[in-house]
Structure 1
């Protein structure tokens, strides 16, 4: 009888374990990684983060791919400073787009502090999402301060008419600029200007834009990146140029989970209309500036199409395949 009861207990436990949905857990990537750019390529999820370390060691990028948001494969050193001769230190906050059969990888390098220093926003190119990537221009795409914006934290946005824009900026200023069709240069707007400032109230860095039901959702990070109050806020407009009136915070610290939650990106599973926010945060007890971990949560909208506040978790998200 005892043996039968024990067998039933084992079967029940196994059934319960099998019935539990598989989740990613948070963080989803081992090691210190920040500023994640999350995208979908070829029915796979991809994350391109900053390798979070001291600036003189932050000289390469790794990438991570998954078919289900739970199990992630590492693609090491898809790009480093040996391929970008003008980049010497502090490569971070990548953005990536597929155009035709090529993958264009935008990044910031050297943390320039004025127009006399060499560095800024560069572009690399590869035939596959895992690289290897090589320098596309041989020089930065943007290497000067325009409208007070440090040339960092770039995001590339494709509008509904097919035009690509680069949205970027640190030091509490954000610019938008038109990209030439082959991504080799910035081209002027119809009024002749090259860079338009779209800085919303509270903006610090980390811009991101997406469209939903013909509305432009503009998101950014606020606060200091080394501090506990780092967070993400957003605005909504009828145009990629704004005006962007701040709606409120989407993502912020939770004293029971983590601090410094910010610098994010968004992925959208269009088949199921599921939205996910991928971001970095600082585990409780970690005080070192570069000890940041990449995490994921599902993101929801209310009946007025506003983004609901995201709750930080250790669970992450459920398994979700794209095909």
Structure 2
């Protein structure tokens, strides 16, 4: 009996020890299933987040000096926590006219093909080669080849530099390209096969929808019948980089600036901006994917990709998004149909 009593005491003590260890480790998020920020390793910026079938995807800019930006990687995850890297889904060897500065990809799936829109060459005027191009592939990880053999857009319209394109799929089936740097933003109707643009009823092709404060990085989504238009303000390499937004009843606006929803936190990261938004399919559940600069970095290209939850108040306004090191909770998409 004495031996059994000692054994029972030992087992009880062991259980208490294990429980204590669990509580301690839990306080350090070991069991919390959180993604942590940054969510992917390396210098990556301008992330486009989306969902294809049962997976989350991130398509970022490789953040480096312009002449090193000659390729793009992609990242996929089943749960927002574990990410797989897909290297060189497109590069300048696949796009003859693109030489460097491949920026800010946007991607859509249409007719079982994947179309990757990107900017290249950082053109400064209408005489320089470059602009916004399109890649095409049979799967989201590529490899993507040049769809048109030339830029889709290679000229300035309404003062907008042809960069930072976002492809918006409206509820009536129309695809729009919303784009622009140099503090101007245009919206244009894409042809059904993405080979060009369709004029509006008044004969114009590029309509300016620039809101107050706009610099670059447009993004649009629909929630409860309203069009949310978001953009980046400030200098991309500075601490004042941030995200603001507006709400309208149409993708054409008018868009009046409402508030800043993402900005730096002096205790966590600098220059938070150029974002995208992921909606969990069929749910009122939203995530902001963005880049920021670590506090100990001064190089403008040292940008990392992060994810935070995005919430709305009872009136439909976006609540300010808080920067964190912990990131978001694990979120599987396994219940969704492929």
Unaligned stretches of 5+ residues in structure 2: 1-5
Q: Give the distance between the partners of 2:201 and 2:21, measured in 1 at CA.
A: 65
180, 183, 197: which one aligns with 1:172? 183
- Selected match of 1:301 from 290, 306, 312: 312
Q: Distance in 1 between matches of 2:36 and 2:14?
A: 30
Once residues 271 and 119 of structure 1 are traced to their aligned partners in structure 2, the CA distance between those partners, rounded to angstroms, is 38
Unpaired runs of 5+ in structure 1? none
**Aligned residue in 2 for 1:265:** 276
Instruction: Give, in whole Å, the separation in 1 of the partners of 2:212 and 2:273.
Output: 17
Aligned to 1:194: 205
Matched, 1:107 2:118: yes
Alignment of 1:224-235 (within 5 A): 224-235=235-246
Query: What's 2:322 paired with?
Result: 311
Q: Is 1:11 paired with 2:18?
A: yes
Q: What is the deviation of 1:270?
A: 3.1
In 1, the alpha carbon distance for the partners of 2:20 and 2:219 equals: 44
Corresponding residue for residue 44 of structure 1 = 55
Give 1:253's aligned residue: 264
Quote the offset at 1:15 in angstroms.
Answer: 4.3
SS at match of 2:14: helix
Indicate whether 1:209 and 2:220 are aligned: yes
CA distance in 1, matches of 2:206, 2:83: 38
Work out which of the two has the higher radius of gyration on C-alpha atoms and give 1 or 2: 2
- Measure the CA separation in 1 of the matches of 2:172 and 2:283: 24
Q: What TM-score results when the alignment is normalised by the length of structure 1?
A: 0.97
The SS at the match of 1:246 is coil
CA distance in structure 2 between the partners assigned to 1:204 and 1:61 by the alignment: 23
The offset of 1:13, in angstroms, is 4.1
Structure 2-normalised TM-score? 0.93
Could you say what the CA RMSD is over the residues aligned between the two structures, in angstroms? 1.4
2:141 to 125, 130, 135: 130
Length, aligned pairs only = 323
CA distance in 2, matches of 1:194, 1:276: 32
